[in-house]
Amino acid sequence: MPILRSTLMFLLLLIALLAGTVVQAMPIRVDAARATDVQQEEGRQFAFDELPWQCQLGVRSANLSDRIAIADRVVLVPDLATWLDEISRWKPGLHWPVLIEDDRYTPLFVRRFKPARLIRRPSIGTDLPTDAVALERAVRDAAVMAWGGDPSSDTLESIYESLPWWTPPGIVATSFTDPAWPAALALTIGHGQLLRTLDGSFGNVNDSLDEAGLARLQTRVGEMFSESGYPWGGSGDALDALTICRVMPVRTTAPLSKTLRPNVPAAPQVGSRDPRSITDLLCRDEDGVRWGMTGWIWGKSTRSIYMAMCSLFIERESVLMVSAYEDSGNWGEYSITAAAEILREAEYEIIGVQSMGNASVEAWRRLVMNGPNADVLILNTSGSTTRMNLSGETVGTTRDIPALNRPLALHMIHSYSLNAPGSNSTIGGKWLDRGVYAYVGSCDEPYLNAFTPPSVLARRIANYTPFLVASRVDTGPMALPWRIVTIGDPLMLAESPPRRERRRVRVPLEEPPGSIDIRRRTLTRLSSVIGNDEEVVDPETLHDLHLLGQDELAMKLWEQLVERDGGKHYTPELARAVLPVLHARREATAYLAAYRAAGEPAGDCREMLWSLWTPRFPGLRSPSDLALFERALRTNQMGDDLEVLLPAAERILGASQRNAVIARAMDRATIPYDRDRLKALLK
């Protein structure tokens, strides 16, 4: 083998693969007394009853999670029926992540979670009920079994009532005709909540809910809480959270009385029908006072399950902070420097603090070329639905939202990022499409003081206030119903890492027939490849090595394939399988070669291509590479892509060819939006 003259390196890497990556955590048992560990600025400890209701909610969430060990495994399933069957195997005190396997969200989750065992389970071979009533019954049965009950005699409510140590913290609402119902089930079980149906048509995600629709929604929400039998409607009651897992509009233009409008001096007066965020409007009393927090998950089952599993199982230990704001005047209050110090003291890993001079669009592109290397991103920009104003008067667009390499929670101070979250041609829609699972942003112009300053956010999340809850202003005019959208699980914590030691355990669990241990199967397959010039690695093994976090071993195998036998084993399928590995390692030149060999695939492969290469376009010199990028312009952002590529085109082909390049792109454009944006580039 030209690359490896011996198998020693392979053997060392195989040892690492065999061992896996095991996360060890000391068992902990904590009850409500944990609240005395919550501290504020002055360092004084507080009893539970002294805490703000927002912090009490987080402590309650933490106390339940401390009672639930995590089996150190991830189970991948092919369909919803099998997913539901696997969830019903959860036990009181023992949960594990279960995902419907796909090529986008599964690698993000698995590589961050790093399970000791990765199981691929076959389909159970039956379909879910097509009738919503029968499906709801099956879902509720699964929840009862996961909490140790008998569906023939128990309900979730009766189980909760039998536990003197537990009171549900909130309600999860879904429609069993909506694809996001699995997220509702997972969050119901994982947080010990009540599960309720929320049927009816309210509109699409990017729509605005009218007055009649808002009245129906508010009435149904009120009924859910009123019929629960638990105290609600005041801060610090039993039920302080609402999670909506279904499609609905992001905003409403229903009229609100003057007393519910956050008018502030020196700002335009808010009109009766000005847009407000639905998630910000719910869980308030008649005077607009917030008594609870609303989170929102929607989308295809694969993504909604991923969002729920990230909330329940991913640790939020590292933070990247980027701000394009001045450090003076009103902007100075939103400085990330003070927030970074608070988080450092709380023992978060600070990946970077990029502000002013190092927050230009060029610096941003280099920083996130394969996604932010952090669990949480705190991002301060300004702009519009599709544009981000960064430092040095530079501007980023939707094209600059990268392909991710790990799950991400995002707090984004920006005027319109979530104006149309159902469209991946917008900033917020693109972040969500890429793998953001918790998101605080705005659906319209909110004004700066509608956002919680990063230093306040940092102090709150470090002290058990859930991530979405910590993001909201709770005093002054901006505490009234406004435009901040909270996407994700409202009970999700991002507390100080030393306070968050989830127990991972290795326990013997009987696997259903046909289940595959991916690590062991990968080892078996590799044993026939290493040292054998007649055998080559197959695409599935390269894919699974990436899932297992074994990128170095996958890379060695790939290099061997490329250089041996004149590349005759270098197939498009193998090239496509290695693309995520090359993206994770920022191997831009190798990625371009493999992308070409893979047949220039669209979708996620194209997204990774642009993430890696956009910051490298100043060095682009090859006409054939330029032609490849012309062919790879992305639908819904062809104009943005070509705008950043044009300087290279003029350098390689000559300035006189600028309009010819644009004309070629216009010929390939299939939607009016792209044609209009491309036309605007003509000179």
> Any residues with CB less than 8 A from the CB of 493 and at least 6 apart, and which?
58, 61, 62, 65, 316, 461, 464, 466, 467, 500
Mean pLDDT, range 459-467, rounded to an integer: 96
pLDDT at 245 over 70: yes
Q: How would residue 50 be classed by pLDDT, with cut points 50, 70 and 90?
A: confident
pLDDT at 48 over 70: yes
The rounded radius of gyration (Å) of the Cα atoms in the chain is 26
Host H or E run for residue 441 = strand 436-442
What pLDDT score does 10 carry? 57
pLDDT at 298 over 80: yes
In percent, how much of the chain has pLDDT > 70? 92
What pLDDT score does 352 carry? 95
Q: How would residue 286 be classed by pLDDT, with cut points 50, 70 and 90?
A: very high
pLDDT at 30 over 80: no
pLDDT at 37 over 70: no
pLDDT per position as a tens digit, 560-608: 888 776 666 778 999 999 999 999 999 999 999 999 999 999 999 999 9
pLDDT per position as a tens digit, 511-563: 999 999 999 999 999 988 776 767 788 999 999 999 999 999 999 888 888 87
pLDDT at 157 over 90: yes
pLDDT per position as a tens digit, 549-570: 999 999 988 888 887 766 667 7
Is the Cβ–Cβ distance between 634 and 607 less than 8 Å? Answer: yes
Is the Cβ–Cβ distance between 308 and 500 less than 8 Å? Answer: no
Lowest-confidence segment of 21-25, 222-226, 346-350 by average pLDDT = 21-25
Is the Cβ–Cβ distance between 361 and 332 less than 8 Å? Answer: no
pLDDT per position as a tens digit, 365-392: 999 999 999 999 999 999 999 999 999 9
Mean pLDDT, range 453-470, rounded to an integer: 96
Mean pLDDT, range 485-494, rounded to an integer: 98
What pLDDT score does 35 carry? 44
Beta bridge partners of 320: 352, 377
Each residue of 92-121: b (16+ CB within 10 Å) or e?
eebbbbbbbbeebbbbbbbbbbbbbbbbbb
What pLDDT score does 190 carry? 98
What pLDDT score does 269 carry? 82
Residue at token pair 């003076």: 328
Mean pLDDT, range 652-672, rounded to an integer: 96
What pLDDT score does 16 carry? 56
pLDDT per position as a tens digit, 171-202: 999 999 999 999 999 999 999 999 999 999 99
What pLDDT score does 1 carry? 38
What pLDDT score does 266 carry? 74
What pLDDT score does 232 carry? 97
